[in-house]
Structures are given as C-alpha cells and as structure tokens.
Amino acid sequence: MEKPKNKQETCAYVMVIFGATGDLALNKLIPSLFSLFNQKKLPVNFSVIGFSRREMTDSQFRNHFENLKNKKGWDKFSKILSYQKGDFQDKNAYLELIDKLELLDKKYGDCITRLFYLATPPQNYDVILDFMEDTKLSKGVGQNTYNQTKIIIEKPFGKDLDTAKALDQKLYKTFKEEQIFRVDHYLGKETIQNMLAFRFANGIFEPVWNNKFIDHVQITFAESKGIDGRGKFFDGVGILRDVAQNHLMQILAAVAMEQPISFEREAIRDARAKVIEAIRPVEPKEVGEYTVRGQYEGYTGEKDVEPDSKTGTYTAVKLFVDTERFRGIPFYLRAGKMMPKNSVYVSIVFIQTCHILFKEYGCPEIGNVLTIKIQPDEGITLRVIAKKPQEKLALDTVNMKFTYKGEFGGEIKDAYEKILLDIFEGDQMLFNRSDELQSSWKFITKILEGWEMQLKSSKWKMPKYKKGTWGPKESLDLIEKDGRKWIEV
C-alpha cells in the first residue's frame, strides 16, 4: 500500500506578486519559478497570482513572458499563473484578490502558505501594506495559518535611515519578524556564499586576512547595460541606493566579517550585522574626499528620467572598517551602469614585500592579489610572482586560477532560485535582518546628505562620463591620490 503523504509535503503555496508585469517578475521571478518547476523543486501544489495595474486576462499574462513561452515545460507550468488587475490605491482590487485567493483556499484546503511578494518600485510599499492590513489580506486563511503568511519585500528597503525604520514599523504592525523576508538577491549568489567557505575552511588564508598583510581591498560592480527602460524606478533611486546600499555592502560583509560562531541563521546574520556596523561613517562634509558620483552622457534623455535629473549612475566610495582585523585598510568600492563590461569582483591586494634579494631583478609594483570573481566567469584567481623562464633572474606575475565551470561544470543557478527555495522553507539566513539594514542605511544616509549639500552649492556640477568607459575622471583621482590603481578584471 502506498505510504500516506506527510501533510506538510502536500500543503499548498500561493504566491501573490505585486508588480507582476514589471521588470523583476519578467526577468527574475517567473523565470526562476519556471526553472524550479522544471527541476521538480517547486511545491507540488503551487499557484501564482500576478497583481498589477495593466488590464490583462490570465492568458495574456501567461503570454507576457515572451522569452519563456517556447521553452520546454512552459505549457504545463504556465497553468499555475493567473492574473488580477488592480490599482495599488484601489481597495476594491484587494477585495477582488481576496475572492480569488478564497477560490484557491477551497481547492487546496486549510493547509496553505500565502506568500506576498512586493516586486514594485519601493514608493508603492506603503500603500500596499496599508491595504493588506485594512482588508485583512495579511491575515492568511483557515485555521492557524496566520504564521504561514509571508511577506517578501525587495530592495531598496526605504530611501534612507528614517524611511527604512518607518517601513519596519509598518511591517511589524502586521507581521512578526519570522514572516518578513527582506530580499537582497546578492546574498543568494553562489560566489558570495563561497567566500565564507573559502575564508574559513582554508587554513592558509585566515592568518593573512588582516591589516598586517593586506594593503587594500577593491570591490567593483560594473554593468555594461544602462537603466534598461527602468527610468521610473531608477531615477528616484540612483546607483547608491540601487546597488551600493545593499549588494556592495553584502559583498563587503563577506570579505570583512569575523568568523561566525556557527553556520546557523542568527550567527551568520550577527556576523554580517557587526561588520556593517563597524564601517566608519563618511560625514556629509567629507563626501568630496571619500566619494564620487557620476552620470553617463545621455542619461537625462532616457525614458521616464527627469530632463535635469541629478541621479547618479556611477559611484565610488572609499571607506574603512573599524575592526581590529581591518583597522587602517582602505576599501575602495565602485559601481556603475554603462561600463565597458559586465564584471563584479573583489580584489584583495596584499602588501608588496618583494624580498630584498629580488629588488634589483624587477619586482612588480603590485604583487599578490586575490580576486574573487562574483560574475560572470565565477571563480578565484591568485596572482603570484614567478621567475621568468630564462637564464637570467627576472620576475613577472602569473595567475593561479579556479573557475566554477572548469571544476564543477554546469551553469551557476540564478540567485533568485535559491532565494525562492529559502522562502518556501522559511529559512531567513540569506535575508536581511533589520539591524544590518539600518547600519548600512546609517552609512549611506550621511553620504546622501553630503550629496544634497553639494547639489545646493552653485559651484558643484554632476561629473559626466562617456558610455562604455570606467566612470568619470574623479573616480581615478579617488584611488590614485593614494598611490593605488583600480584593478580591471
């Protein structure tokens, strides 16, 4: 006789995606759900309701995913997608959504986890949360299911420290912490997770991972694309809030955190939170010395961008992490759109200590550099100095290289697949806790204040850069005035 299935295994999941016709759903959420479906990793009973302003039928919504609809498995998968037209300001739309959800409740019974995914521009979060509370949409269904409602909220979480705190307060009015999933998909990237294994599982790196051996750290987040038609979102946000406050901070945390006391959820989150809190503030009056921003030429002509917009599409920041391990070591961070290539990486540049014996044989100016390539061509390279193969003694640098593809084969999965699986399981380790977010906002908000002050000064002009270059000239000055250079990978 067939073993009866564990009730938990057959429990259903219903995901409501607010902003379901937007960029995130189109490029990340639905493709990742589809991929999980093909790998048989989606819960057996699973439905998605897209909620957006646009007038659409269920079938038009399914056809909206042009680049997926000819792929194997799509016909079967797309049956789980349905659509609810709704203006986020209109209470009736939420009531109609509840009717739809109740039909699914009847189909699935009482064991349902409802997942509400806020995939809209952040300015809509308040009104959506208000109506969720007002209409009791947030309460879940059936008996005892209050705790099984989860709210998933995309970055940027707020616009600055105060708005991030206010958003938390609003969430706490309705949800408990274990129901809240604050997404930063960089936490789900394989290569960022590997940084912890690399640092703490290999005994040879830990002893040199400190200010006695490291000269400085560089983090580069370069994208060759521009804002890709996302003017409505991007112009109100800018690159500092879009990727620096979150993705760059998470990369920095993986480089600089202390060893967590365990690999349990709260231990990892504690270690991340501590290191972000230890970042020395850049005071508003210091932004000229420690930060750069820039805008690519032609940005103000993009769709949905203000013609006189002062939003940055490039930023570079020099900062210090005041922990015993990293005291005095500069971290140079840069992020930009319309860069010469797509490349996200960290370079740990070690102090150059060419032994006195070799000085006269041409010691390279920069010696050991450990580069962790987050994407593409995920992998790790260690630059070492070697003797050139010739009779006379001469030195040069060479790379020792590991790539994921070369060693493990296959493609690295999109981080959203990991993020979604963790949401189903209720595992919050790779989601932001509010204290780490607040620490990073504390740091970013002072820079934003300094930039506001610059804007008010009649002398200040937004530095511009040509598309396909590494940002404005000022970004070179930021690092070169310290006698260092950006490393290009």
Q: Which is nearer to ligand BG6, 243 or 447 (CB)?
A: 243
Does 302 sit near ligand BG6 (CB under 6 A)? no
Count residues binding ligand BG6 (CB under 6 A): 3
Does 444 sit near ligand BG6 (CB under 6 A)? no
Q: Which is nearer to ligand BG6, 42 or 243 (CB)?
A: 243
Q: Which is nearer to ligand BG6, 348 or 419 (CB)?
A: 419
Indicate which residue of 185, 216, 247, 355 is catalytic: 247
Q: Which is nearer to ligand BG6, 243 or 257 (CB)?
A: 243
Rounded distance, CA 386 to CA 397, Å?
A: 6
Does 235 sit near ligand BG6 (CB under 6 A)? no
Binding test (CB under 6 A) with ligand BG6, winner from 215, 242, 302, 436: 242
The CB-of-279 to ligand BG6 minimum distance in angstroms stands at 20
Q: Which is nearer to ligand BG6, 138 or 313 (CB)?
A: 313
Rounded distance, CA 144 to CA 147, Å?
A: 7
Q: Which is nearer to ligand BG6, 267 or 421 (CB)?
A: 421
Q: Taking CB positions, which residue lies at the least distance from ligand BG6?
A: 242
Q: Which is nearer to ligand BG6, 90 or 377 (CB)?
A: 377
The CB-of-190 to ligand BG6 minimum distance in angstroms stands at 11
The CB-of-401 to ligand BG6 minimum distance in angstroms stands at 22
Rounded distance, CA 400 to CA 191, Å?
A: 18
Q: Which is nearer to ligand BG6, 149 or 343 (CB)?
A: 343
Residue list 35-94, contact with ligand BG6 (CB under 6 A): none
Q: How many residues does the chain have?
A: 489
Instruction: Spell out, one character per residue from 193 to 232, where the chain touches ligand BG6: x when CB under 6 A holds, - when not.
Output: ------------------------------x---------
488: Cβ–Cβ under 8 A, 6 or more apart, which residues? 470
3-state secondary structure the chain: CCCCCCHHHHCEEEEEEECCCCHHHHHHHHHHHHHHHHCCCCCCCEEEEEEECCCCCHHHHHHCCCCCCCCCCHHHHHCCEEEEECCCCCHHHHHHHHHHHHHHHHHHCCCEEEEEEECCCHHHHHHHHHHHHHCCHHHCCCCCCHHHEEEEECCCCCCCHHHHHHHHHHHHHHCCHHHEEECCHHHHCHHHHHHHHHHHHCCCCHHHCCCCCEEEEEEEEECCCCCCCCHHHHCCCHHHHHHHHHHHHHHHHHHHCCCCCCCCHHHHHHHHHHHHHCECCCCHHHHHHHEEEEEECCHHHCCCCCCCCCCCCEEEEEEEECCCCCCCCEEEEEEECCCCCCEEEEEEEECCCCCHHHHHHCCCCCCCEEEEEEECCCEEEEEEEEECCCCCCCEEEEEEEEEHHHHHCCCCCCHHHHHHHHHHHCCCCCCECHHHHHHHHHHHHHHHHHHHHHHHCCCCCCCEECCCCCCCHHHHHHHHCCCCCCCCC
Tokens of 395: 């030195």
Binding test (CB under 6 A) with ligand BG6, winner from 11, 115, 219, 243: 243
The CB-of-228 to ligand BG6 minimum distance in angstroms stands at 8
Residue with token string 């897209």: 50
Tell me, yes or no, if 64 is annotated catalytic.
no
Active-site residue set = 247
Q: Give contact residues for ligand BG6 (rule: CB under 6 A).
A: 223, 242-243
